Amino acid sequence: MSGSVFDTNVLSKYIEPKAKERYPELVQLVDETLRAEGIYISSVSKYELRRGVRKLSLQGKGRLQGKGRQKEVSVERILNAAHVLGVDALAGAAWDAAAELWAKAAIHKPSIQIDDADLIIAATALVHGRTFVTCDGKLVDRLDEVGYKGEVKLLDATKKT
């Protein structure tokens, strides 16, 4: 596998205030990746990050201030530096992979619940031959249970004091 695709939860933690103090390993990995190869994300992560900033903007009646403005700047910086991998690339292979994972989760007894966005992001990493990087240990366990064939890197996102 070559390179990584970062889950939205990694980027959300990365842009938090005091992220360097709270999640030093995560920040170091993202910073190193940005410098070395640029960061790769799924188009789903782009959507999730943009909708979060847009929600803050609408709550502030179209004007972001303080922490909301800082988040907007951080999101834009990430998105401007990101290589966005689409789910329609490679003849829609990520859609097919996500559907396969969803079906395996659905027929499992008891069924395994995996958020659609998470499935699509993981499937995007898989079809592009990249490691899926996440902070969600439960997601990693669920992907393992349904036979996810890609590489996964679980980051420790426990807040440091």
Judged against a pLDDT cut of 90, whether residue 91 lies above it is answered with: no
The partner residues of 133 in beta bridges, in order of sequence, read 6, 153
Judged against a pLDDT cut of 90, whether residue 148 lies above it is answered with: yes
Q: Give me the chain's average pLDDT, please.
A: 90
Q: Which domains does the chain have, with CATH numbers?
A: 4-154 (3.40.50.1010)
**Range with the lowest mean pLDDT among 31-40, 56-65, 113-122?**
56-65
The CB-based long-range contact list for 77-81 (8 Å cut-off, 24+ gap) reads 78/11, 78/14, 78/15, 78/39, 78/41, 78/49, 79/46, 79/49, 79/50, 81/34, 81/38, 81/39
Structure tokens at 28: 């170091």
Structure tokens at 9: 């939860």
